[in-house]
């Protein structure tokens, strides 16, 4: 059941996925940790097993937690409403979600098309052929010509990781024609971007990031239509890529503050980006709000705001980047993003280490590039920390 009387995402974030709470007589999300469920009626149990293995959203008997869990289902319902899709399917990590999408696509075609840059492990998974479906790398200009009868899916990430370049989703959908488009929308969240409204068939999130928002849950989720949801549930049931109910509980509990967290972090990022752009140690800042990324004009149309991720290039290269990571005291030098606290990391040496050096260079992932996920701390404290860390960068540059 959808909240048809609630139209604003902030309201949906608070109430979605809670439609059965009154019937259950609870106010907080219930947490069901059962791994198995009693089968008193064998015929009902057999029919339920067949339905769930076949990708049904629910059945009379849950049978086994790899097939269905009510806590997970509530989070899925909430995320689907936030993304404006009929369904969502949750997984144990963002990469489990991506893997399921590619495995499902492999049943529909012989190759996928993808655009760089992507998250490093997504790039590696596609490029390696580990799942048995090859990739052809394209650009927005070459996409239409690359599509043929064997194309199973088009994969894009916008904003891109780590360069923050934007891709016109509607234009990609038009060029793809009948081929389904998957958009990794992790950086944007449904607060800032809803790819399904622009024609994307699958919207993927590493829910570990903004949806979780507190650095305490690893999860992935794909918002999609009923046809794709059935296929993804079949893959999840067969491969065991399920999301643990405790993770689903934490995600569902955190959704009501998603809009507040995203907007506060975004406001901080605007100020930090402007100050970094004026700093002598910094050669370049890539941030949609500064107009310094590809297709920055999409902010205000495709995206409701520029977000809270930025990347900046240091004059001193790798040594300067390493010095900054060693010198920060308030920001945490760590991979991941979208947490309430600020995280800073080195894409070439960490998140995109699995991408070959030539491709890194082609995508603008240089030795002096740092990616900053701005949190909700007070912006003056964040800037003070970055300022003292950039002193170390200038010293490394001079050395």
Active site residue: 74, 116, 119, 233, which one? 119
18 noted as active-site residue: no
Cα–Cα distance, 207 to 93 (Å, whole number): 7
Sort 272 into a burial class: Cβ within 10 Å, 0-12 / 13-18 / 19+: buried
209 noted as active-site residue: yes
DSSP string for 309-374: EEEEEETTHHHHHHHHHHH-SSSEE-S---SSS-EEE-TTTTTTTTS-HHHHHHTT--TTEEEEE-
**H/E stretch holding 283:** strand 282-286
Question: In which order are the strands placed within the sheet that holds 369-373?
Answer: 282-286, 309-314, 369-373, 343-345, 332-333
Listed residue (257, 291, 250, 261) closest to 274, CA to CA: 291
Listed residue (83, 336, 378, 82) closest to 216, CA to CA: 336
**Burial track 343-377 (b if 16+ CB lie within 10 A, e otherwise):** bbbbbbebbbeebeeebbeebbbbbbbbbbbbbbb
Active site residue: 201, 209, 236, 261, which one? 209
184 noted as active-site residue: yes
Active site residue: 87, 184, 233, 287, which one? 184
Bond from prior residue into 159 cis (ω within 30 degrees of 0):
yes
119 noted as active-site residue: yes
Cβ atoms 178, 205 nearer than 8 A: no
Active site residue: 20, 37, 66, 263, which one? 66
Could you identify the residue written with the tokens 């990022």?
269
β-sheet bridge partners, residue 309: 373
Q: Which residues contact 286 (CB under 8 A, 6 or more apart)?
A: 163, 164, 165, 292, 293, 310, 311, 312, 313, 364
Give catalytic residue positions: 66, 119, 184, 209
């Amino acid at each position: 059941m959808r909240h048809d009387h609630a139209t604003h995402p902030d309201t949906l974030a608070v109430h979605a996925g809670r439609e059965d709470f009154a019937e259950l007589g609870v106010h907080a999300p219930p947490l069901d940790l059962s791994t198995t469920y009693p089968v008193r009626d064998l015929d009902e149990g057999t029919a339920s097993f067949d339905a769930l293995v076949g990708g049904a959203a629910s059945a009379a008997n849950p049978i086994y937690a790899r097939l269905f869990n009510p806590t997970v289902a509530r989070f899925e319902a909430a995320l689907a409403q936030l993304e404006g899709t009929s369904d969502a399917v949750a997984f144990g990590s963002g990469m489990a979600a991506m893997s399921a999408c590619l495995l499902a696509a492999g049943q529909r075609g012989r190759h996928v098309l993808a655009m760089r840059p992507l998250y490093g492990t997504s790039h590696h998974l596609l490029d390696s052929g580990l799942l048995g479906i090859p990739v052809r790398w394209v650009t927005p200009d070459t996409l239409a010509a690359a599509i043929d009868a064997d194309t199973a899916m088009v994969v894009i990430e916008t904003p891109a990781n780590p360069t923050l370049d934007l891709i016109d989703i509607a234009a990609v959908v038009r060029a793809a024609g009948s081929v389904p488009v998957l958009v990794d929308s992790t950086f944007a969240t449904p607060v800032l971007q809803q790819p399904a409204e622009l024609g994307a068939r699958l919207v993927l999130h590493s829910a570990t990031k903004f949806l979780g928002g507190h650095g305490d849950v690893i999860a992935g989720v794909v918002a999609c239509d009923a046809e794709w949801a059935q296929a993804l549930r079949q893959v999840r049931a067969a491969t065991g890529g399920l999301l643990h109910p405790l993770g689903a509980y934490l995600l569902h509990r955190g959704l009501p503050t998603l809009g507040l967290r995203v907007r506060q972090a975004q406001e901080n990022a605007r100020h930090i980006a402007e100050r970094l752009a004026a700093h002598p140690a910094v050669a370049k800042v890539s941030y949609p709000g500064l107009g310094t990324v590809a297709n920055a004009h999409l902010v205000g149309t495709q995206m409701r705001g520029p977000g809270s991720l930025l990347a900046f290039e240091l004059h001193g290269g790798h040594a300067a980047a390493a010095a900054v990571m060693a010198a920060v005291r308030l920001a945490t030098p760590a991979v991941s993003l979208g947490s309430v606290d600020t995280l800073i990391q080195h894409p070439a040496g960490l998140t995109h280490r699995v991408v070959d050096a030539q491709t890194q260079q082609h995508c603008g992932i240089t030795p002096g590039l740092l990616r900053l996920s701005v949190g909700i701390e007070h912006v003056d404290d964040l800037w003070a920390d970055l300022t003292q860390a950039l002193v170390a960068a200038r010293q490394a540059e001079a050395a």
